[in-house]
Amino acid sequence: MYSFYLRFAFFILLVSCKSAEVRISETIKLSSPGFVKTLEGIASQTFTKNNSVQIIPDGKETFQVLFDMITKAKRSIHIESFFYGSDSTGTALTNLLIDKAREGVEIRIIIDSWGSARISSYITALKKIGVQVYFYNPMKFYNPVSYHIRNHRRLIIVDGHKAITGGFGLTAWWYSVRLDRTHVNDTQIYVEGESAAYVQRIFAESWYRISGELLAGKKIFPTKFEKKNTLVAPIGSEPNLGYDKFYRIFLLAIRSSEKEILITTPYFLPDVAIVNELKKALRRGVQVSLLLPDPKFVEEFPVVYASKRHYPKLVQLGMKLYHYKKRMLHSKRAVFDGKFSIVGSSNLDYRSLFINEEADIMVYDTNIGKKLIDLFNKEIKNSRSISLEETKDRNCLKKTFEGLWILLEFIL
């Protein structure tokens, strides 16, 4: 029992001390040809250009694309998902997967054991037809600390050349476009082409660790792609194994920006290094805008309190802060100087930066950057601008709550 407490104390110390400050050896401009090469070095991932990219701004279109991908699958369907709901959407997806398995399509699924704990009937039906399904990191009573590490990814890869990721879950919460607190506004990115094969590699690494099966061959990794001209590279982050790639890339992108940074995230609990880089960017004249959900839609209320301490200084330095009013905003995306974009599953909080397994896609392309900028501008029309005075309007009771939750921000 004592060993459990020692491990837990060590884990807390490790995460809370993770990033007091990060030194970047050289500032490289985002417009520089060397920027992409630097990203490749940090991500251990090559940018490829034979890709087509689609930004998907709502749940209904997301599931239209997703179901179309699966329906047209010929060889393989791979799913790695935090959420798999036991509802009408989960039922429809399960039935479609069973149909594809009967056609002879190989299907492999990794589901997080925390986010998708209530789908046993689906699992039984899928396994019966030959689908391979594994739960990520199920609870071990002899080592409960490990249960803290979650697979937060949302990946679907079809035939090794089509892939989609973002903040969506495989549940009706994301499918509906209703404007209420039980449904969410999210952004996905769909890629077709060479980069999808590298997304497949992220899944294959997870699959090997969890199942022991080494995925290989042209059926899994195709080699021929239609010629395109959009630079894309995926990021597979595994901070618990030391691969906090998203975090390092995000820091570099802030440091490299010269004009504008647009950030959309449901949770804003960054570490000291990211906050400091944002402050430096503001001081050198970069326009920084942050879009968050209205606090009334955030069910994880401790996050609302813990994040407020960052706002006054950032807003005072010129950052524009917005709260999206229509429903829960769950998108995780950022655009830097209209050229470099990241869309995926990573939040700007300790869990995504330093604990959970995540998957995001980088795009170095002004056309995709413009689409994301247009989407940001569209959403701030349905948002409320937060003034400096409002960020400072926190009485003693509110500040007390902030202080209490700040102590636990690394696990929120």
**Amino acid at residue number 290:** L
Where are the extended beta strands (E) located within 23-159? 51-56, 76-81, 106-112, 132-136, 154-158
241: exposed, middle or buried (Cβ count in 10 Å: 0-12, 13-18, 19+): exposed
pLDDT at 3: 46
Q: What is the pLDDT of residue 339?
A: 97
From residue 386, alpha-carbon distances to 23, 251, 291, 312, 326 in Å are 32, 25, 10, 10, 16
Amino acid (1-letter code) at residue 147? Y
- Write down the domain spans for the chain: 20-411
Question: CA 374, 379, 384 angle in degrees (round to 5)?
Answer: 135
pLDDT, tens only, 248-307: 999 999 999 999 999 999 999 999 999 999 999 999 999 999 999 998 888 766 777 778
Instruction: State pLDDT tens for residues 357-380.
Output: 999 999 999 999 999 999 999 999
The two three-digit tokens of residue 357, written as one number = 């397994």
Q: What is the pLDDT of residues 329-360, one digit of tens each?
A: 999 999 999 999 999 999 999 999 999 999 99
The answer on pLDDT for 399 being more than 80 is no
**Residue scoring higher pLDDT (402 or 5):** 402
Measured N-to-C along each axis, helices 245-256 and 272-283 cross at an angle, to the nearest 10 degrees, of 10
Is residue 42 a contact partner of residue 249, using CB atoms and an 8 Å limit?
yes
Q: Is pLDDT of 400 > 70?
A: no
Tell me the C-alpha distance between 52 and 196, whole Å.
10
pLDDT for res 104:
97
3-26 burial, b at 16+ Cβ within 10 Å, e below that, comes to eeeeeeeebeeebbebbeebeeee
* Mean pLDDT rounded to a whole number for the chain: 88
Question: What single-letter amino acid sits at 340?
Answer: F
For the domain made up of 20-411, give the CATH fold: Endonuclease; Chain A (3.30.870)
